[in-house]
Amino acid sequence: MRRTRTAWITAALVTATLGPAAAPAQAAAATCPTGWGSQTKSREAGTTDSVRNARTGRSACYDRLVIDVPGADKAALGYSVRYVDRLRQDGSGRVVPVSGGAVLEVRVAAPAYDPATGAPTYPGRVGRPLPGVDLTGYRTFRDARFAGSFEGDTQFGLGVRGRLPFRVLPLDGRVVVDVAHTWGAKP
């Protein structure tokens, strides 16, 4: 009886002193999604709403590119995202240099100009880094370039550390591309 009571008191003191530390530490570790793969992801659709902005963000598990197409309904946003050896500009076939271990070509089926007037709606310059995007400190992204807008499609080049899994999320008013930091389940 005395041993049982002593063991119980010891366990209670250890728990009170240390707290349930193991469980929160495990819960705090992020579990990253897996199964995205690195194959082409696309959806047939198109809109005359124009690309207005491109921006990036970071997460514990992935780096994110967001292409804003205000007014576009999720169902109308078509896209094609795939790894390419070289990014080639639509229309001219000109190579747009993109730094990184691998290059993702990101196409959004929306113009970067006003279809009625032809006036640009996105301030990007072909072959130049995306305006307002600073990739300092990103784990996966190395470079982000504008490749142009041709016949209603807008093209971007995303230089990444290596050929990593990615996903594409069409949402109302934007297309989101997430590129994982690793192939595994941990950040």
Per-residue model confidence (pLDDT) at position 29: 54
The CA distance from 52 to 111, in Å, is 9
Q: Which fold has domain 41-180?
A: Immunoglobulin-like (2.60.40)
Per-residue model confidence (pLDDT) at position 9: 42
Collapsing DSSP to helix, strand or coil, 14 comes out as helix
The CA distance from 86 to 23, in Å, is 47
Number of Cβ atoms within 10 Å of the Cβ of 138:
19
Per-residue model confidence (pLDDT) at position 157: 97
Per-residue model confidence (pLDDT) at position 30: 63
The CA distance from 138 to 113, in Å, is 30
Give every residue of the chain whose pLDDT is below 50, as ranges.
Answer: 1-28
Per-residue model confidence (pLDDT) at position 177: 97
